Structure 1
């Protein structure tokens, strides 16, 4: 028996050693200074600390830090400090070692990064998952000190996503949702495009497994056709660039399953109508004697001599790079068989930055004096963190505003070019230039024409900000801006202003209560809150200070009244707001109050959705029906709210309330009906409307509640509000309506 145990142990040790050897090999293949000794020391320390611990998959725990370290060096390109931090990232959280121990053995820098990673761990893969929004705030605070903390955390999340299959469904939904909501946007903003794409794709795989498999099959079935088309399309380009004397690589870039699904969903089109699945990437080594930017345009000229470009689909991120450091020239050209194909032209340096993001950006930053987009962004984070939102969810929302924002370029009156988020307004631009300009902004001139604060800017606009010393920010300004920087500045100002107004309001209430010989205590404030239907005492003071409440009610409110015992107990009970109990009045027992424990939902089990609708409600924000991919959210009353996987509200809940997310499964028997909308497009022809109605009402006996139809230049467009039992009914209807020769598309309108 002991021999068998020793054999297992030696096999595990062999597996661990092989993975460590692979890590060292990855490191030796980089250009970093070779510090194998400290990496080996960190590995031996972590291996001993985690000895005997297993992951949920059954493998030794040390395999996870090793995998994270390999991602850090091989896929991101960081050096020995980051590798050691990755190897040690779970030691302080999961063992008895402290940050001081790490500092004594490995120095202050590694200890600082490990400390940062420990603070934001939150036990995502254990039962200690804390409020993830608060976790996010800690993560951003730590990132502002050393950006390597967040890069290693993203690598940690990538490995966890790659091994998510061993987790129960509820945890998969929570972790996938959090990844989609927080980590993918962060990876994007740090320029880690390949990792961002993989995180999105893996999240989608676990949230919509059946759709993922279906699209993966369609991609596989079309692979041979794509290969033939790629060879035909790339051959003349390859020959032309060789003739020009360039050293280069051509790469086919295939759209991910997630990107395909997102395009299908947003445009309501089938897989067959997603024409940009294939793109071509050109990565060239610049010649000596001319700038990379000029050579990109030379290759562009050669390409467009072979294939005609689409005039509105040229993206020049060579002249003005994206804020996350991305540089490339994108052009869409008409290829063989009338297919549009996107071609991305990059130098070797540009490609390295595009693949490895912030790490590669700093690698190439030699002697630059001008602040890069990434440097500016990190500076902006520190600005936002000076006055963070008190509510962690609001903070996360504010921060996320500029994570995924596309950029436009606008000019100052003097001709200086400024980068700002797509959708930014004149007021956003004022705050971008200076906070004081924002606070006193009364309007702007765009291209010499007067516009309001809420005017949305376009690329190429020249913007002059108009100010007045008397102007002050107003609460509605939050609706006039879209950038995180402007929102945080406005909220910061309003918060200070409101604090002063609330202080005066509190003094006024105190004065009135003292005149009635009453104290400003919790009991009296609760009575005032109930009377004015206000939840928060601060809001009560603020509204009092703004003179929007009728304070003449207060003396009447505190006049002595005779109350029966039942009313008093109800009031007291209502104030307790106890989530785990419900109140029942037993009328047979002379109205005696009873506390009946609410039936708790088992978070570990899959919740079954039956026809009797017991214990759950369908969310009104996304209207799920049987057949949709769904999840459950357990509210304070232990009712399971059912959301579609792709619902934006569910995305927030997964990221902020992960412990309440549970898996859910339909078990319906076509007893209930749900209202859905299908959109039908086709060629307008006499009788087409009647034919569609015939399919809907006769073939499937489906009831119609509302119809909107119209024609425009021979095109028919109809929206039919129908009652169905499940998604299968919709698919059958779509299939049969498409059999009508004039109909070109039928799609479900997601509400």
Structure 2
């Protein structure tokens, strides 16, 4: 059985050896101090597989230095990455012993560790860019990469859910970043680990086939290269030849892409010939000369020629690819390029990862190249600076409660986020929970925030919203909704004003509206109607303005021939009864758009009022209607007085009554007899229920007017057993 303490000591010594290779004695002391702090903090805590927690942190530190090629500072951070930096005393201890930079890296590690990555596959590019913009130091992500590499090297101790999460991160975040940084060994290992997890049987089968042919393949490559080298030397070329066996994951990807078996893959291994041309003008010529030499030795497959020298890819990638028939009739892929082309392909914007669309940002690209140079040459001056992320000030990345990622411009608010989700959510947004804390709609979002929008049904867009939203989408929707709301209110204002004109007996309403628009210095009649509907302009003021205008039209005008009184086109009637705004309704009143409200079913004689609806027309309600109080409080400017006029035809109106009381013998017969025989009222329906010694009945009747109804109710209340009569819908 392995001794945990011995394993920890061996791993610590391995870390010290790496530090001694890269740094001075001071760095060794820092590592020792970090180890002591970590061992004291983690104590006897163990990981899921039973190994000491301190050993896990040592493993991550060794991977960070040995395989990612980071320095001692990163090893210190790896040892302390589980410390709770939210505790003031912990922050103080780290700051005093290791400085602000280490504390910042540990804070960043904690921040990206808390991100929801379950749905990373749907927006992998956005996640990668968000990762790179979320932290101040790239070492946060590189240490996290080392952490994930350690996790998947021993997947047996992970749950199924953890495996899925970790391998998703590796697939969509860390493999592309590792490729871009030139960490090809780590990238290849991650790809193989991922394939072993996703397709274990296929991985094992391909591995067995590669292993079975390894020694033969090495001999074959030497035999393949030998005549090519001889001819290139004879031609006077300065060159280098490299070759490699493709990874299991790469071979599997090609098998799927070409829909072929392992034995049918042309390029299990690839040969690259890199020429050091004497001048840029000779590059293309040199490449084609080498191609000629190779194809003179080995016959090419014309269908497999890829000429990206004569016509480079849109990304700028230049290389000449061919597949030739080598010894024993085996296909071999040969890539021919110059040193400059190889440098661009490996490090420039046209590198393999770029033209496959893994990342797009030029700033990120340039900066990652800087980091790559530091990883390859850690002793270089200015290395510490290059680790600082080149943050873009253009965007922030925000999470939804489900883990989806949204990209918004920097400075975007909660309201921008709400409109980005859906127009209706934006228009009803009243605030949000950001990282489980309540914030207002004006709150400016930060990278990595998790946002849950709160809505209120009564919320509506307000003009001041336009002043603080950042996105054009939100601004456009708010303007459109405000305009729609304005037109809706304007219709109410128009109905109100035209009705006033009619009551005031004024003609030519269009001319009068134009006079008012000009007087109040507005752009259009819609503005006038809207301000009337929202009580920004009082109707009394409108009447005063029109009265003054008409009086001016009636005053005599001095002329050379004397006094002339021009006849006004419009006059205000002088009858006192016209001064009161009253709507008369009845059977003989025509050309007035009104209806009886279904919520209270008024009948002639009821004490009623009118309500101007948003759809046009007037709704008639009883004064004791259940909705009367609400309408009067919220829309007082839309309430009008209504009076009934006489009707010669005496039409009937439906009225519903609820009758309740004691269940006396023959009570139903007594009630129906009173209704039909005594008052000759036509019943449309009747329904009675009894419960214990009580009854409740509902009767639908046809009534002429309010007086007729009062007489009927009075008669029914005299029936023995009837205790209560209510009018219903």
Query: Computing the radius of gyration over CA atoms, which structure comes out larger, 1 or 2?
Result: 2
Q: Whose RCO is larger (CA < 8 A, sep 6+)? A: 1
Question: So what's the TM-score if we normalise by structure 2?
Answer: 0.45
Question: So what's the TM-score if we normalise by structure 1?
Answer: 0.44
